[in-house]
Amino acid sequence: SQQGEEDPQALSIQEGENATMNCSYKTSINNLQWYRQNSGRGLVHLILIRSNEREKHSGRLRVTLDTSKKSSSLLITASRAADTASYFCATMNSGYSTLTFGKGTMLLVSP
């Protein structure tokens, strides 16, 4: 069964706007990670947030984690056309051995 469910499934914005994607999961986790994938290409690791962290920043990325609600959000500020991609959340299991991916959000940033 799917661990992470993402919302929205697709998001279309203009350059300069902020994009927010949400992810929910079902079981306890050690950490949650966000990945980016350009049109059927490889997965690029963006950011990792541990279960004992609530917020993390990396450049234009801001991730929050609410373990009580089993949810996370990824905010991309001042979006660029080059941010157009699919974004996946993935949860790391308690054994630090497997990643379970969510369905992904397709982000389209128009110039």
Partner 1 sequence: AAGVIQSPRHLIKEKRETATLKCYPIPRHDTVYWYQQGPGQDPQFLISFYEKMQSDKGSIPDRFSAQQFSDYHSELNMSSLELGDSALYFCASSQRQGKRADTQYFGPGTRLTVL
- Residues at the interface with partner 1 (CB under 8 A): 2, 4, 30-31, 33, 35, 40-45, 48, 88, 90, 92, 95-104
Q: 2 vs 27, which CB is nearer to partner 1?
A: 2
Q: 46 vs 109, which CB is nearer to partner 1?
A: 46
Question: How near is the Cβ of 87 to partner 1 at its closest, in Å?
Answer: 11
Burial of 60 (C-beta count, 10 Å sphere; 0-12/13-18/19+): middle
Q: 43 vs 75, which CB is nearer to partner 1?
A: 43
Q: Which residues contact 104 (CB under 8 A, 6 or more apart)?
A: 6, 9, 37, 86, 87, 88
Question: How near is the Cβ of 37 to partner 1 at its closest, in Å?
Answer: 9
What radius of gyration, in Å, describes the C-alpha atoms of the chain?
13
Question: How near is the Cβ of 103 to partner 1 at its closest, in Å?
Answer: 5
**3-class secondary structure, 68:** coil
Here the contacts of 49-55 (C-beta below 8 Å, separation 24 or greater) are none
Question: How near is the Cβ of 25 to partner 1 at its closest, in Å?
Answer: 13
Q: 97 vs 111, which CB is nearer to partner 1?
A: 97
